Amino acid sequence: MEEQRDAPLWRHTTLKIGGDAKRLCHPSTLRELTDLMEQLRSAGEPWFILGGGSNLLVSSAGVEKTVIRTTQLKDISSPEPTIIQADAGTRLPHLAKYAASLGLAGLEFSVGIPGTVGGGVIMNAGAHHSSMSNVLEEVTVFDSSTGEIVTLKKEELGFEYRKCKLDPSVHVVLSARFRLDPQNKEEIEKLTKQNEDYRWKTQPLNWPNAGSTFKNPEPTKAAGMLLDQSGAKNMKEGAAAVSAVHANFVINMGGATSSEVISLMQKMQERVYEKFQLNLHPEWKTVGHFSDSEKAVWNNKT
């Protein structure tokens, strides 16, 4: 298994921010991943799973853990006519296009999500009024609390908006199965392409970003709209800035630090609260060392 010491993580995040990992591992098979997890579990060593590196803020101070990057785990197949099975490191855009090529509908929404299957399941990733919970049939995980590999049905996962019962500090997604609907292949491919084009038109893909910064505070109130109407598009902190294309995207203009990003996020929260008396909560996950004041952004009670 490929392994690096003191590996710079900014190279593996879509925001292009992150200090060095104490150890960075790149398993290329599910067996390598489960063997590694068992070793870490037995030794009581801390770890973190890194998929596509989106929806994540890594501390510029680095990460004193073994970081496991899953992107080499990308086997994908259709073992049954309406089933697609994919390893945890499969990119969601690839998953969507693979399903479309088979004439299977249901995953068109995921073509614009820059994450992987593992992260997508844990966060119940969604777009275009759909989400992983609508198409997932079951997921196989390594449970680090017991050392067991278990398969869980969708009904056991307790899916909610941008989360489920799986704990990313305990459960490691190995693979997932999706049940889809056979439909007209050309129509599926057309909708997939429309969703992909929409992403390019409405998101700042020419700049490093981690995806949507904040969750929608209410079903009828989009975080991007609230930020836009509160004047957040002109905000900047060091080399971190709010995108002029979409107010719910923080971009790295070059050399931004995690501290600059968090300071900007705090000001965005304050701006929305001042105008609408609504609290915004980050959609991103974090890893690495952050001060108590920085962590407060994730427990926003403005």
Residues 6+ apart with CB under 8 A from 42: none
130 is catalytic: no
pLDDT over threshold 70, residue 64: yes
DSSP string, 188-240: HHHHHHHHHHHHHHHS-TTS-B-S--B--SBTTB-HHHHHHHTTGGG-EETTE
- The full set of domains in the chain, from first to last, is 2-69 (3.30.43.10), 76-202 (3.30.465.10), 223-299 (3.90.78.10)
What integer is the mean pLDDT of 251-255?
98
Query: Out of 60, 175, 212, 230, which one is annotated catalytic?
Result: 212
Query: Out of 138, 156, 162, 189, which one is annotated catalytic?
Result: 162
CA pair distance 29, 124, nearest whole angstrom: 24
CA pair distance 119, 141, nearest whole angstrom: 12
- pLDDT at residue number 47: 98
pLDDT digits (tens, 9 = 90+) for 177-227: 999 999 999 999 999 999 999 999 999 999 999 999 999 998 889 999 999
Q: Roughly how many angstroms between the first and final C-alpha of the chain, as a whole number? A: 46
- pLDDT at residue number 302: 55
What integer is the mean pLDDT of 126-152?
96
242 pLDDT band, cuts 50/70/90, is very high
283 is catalytic: yes
Backbone angles phi, psi at 247, to 5 degrees: -70, -15
Location of structure tokens 């449970």: 143
CA pair distance 23, 214, nearest whole angstrom: 30
C-alpha separations of 107 from 90, 127, 133, 139, 156 in Å: 13, 10, 11, 16, 21
Residue in 10, 135, 26 with CA at minimum distance from that of residue 70: 26
CA pair distance 19, 9, nearest whole angstrom: 6
- pLDDT at residue number 155: 97
What integer is the mean pLDDT of 163-168?
96
